Amino acid sequence: MLERELQVTNKLGLHARAAAKLVQLLSGFRCQATLLGRGREVNAKSIMGVLLLAAAPGATLVMRVEGDDEAEALAAAAALFERGFDEEG
């Protein structure tokens, strides 16, 4: 199992479009992925789970991954967070 803190850097936070990008990205990996934030633990491959976190800009979340391709999944998710979910500004 791997774990990493990720910061929400885009202007709008983890809103529907950003959450969908994360879920779509992670769905391509076999490992299990979990996001922790605001006292909640959710399935990071579930759009409803990710939206439930209501992560605002600047929020810090913890991602846990476990499985065959966990390192690749965590690196890809971290890159998406660092790029601000490919949103302008």
- Positions marked catalytic: 15
CA distance 30 to 69: 6
Say if residues 10 and 87 touch (Cβ distance below 8 Å): yes
CA–CA separation, 13 vs 7, rounded Å?
Answer: 10
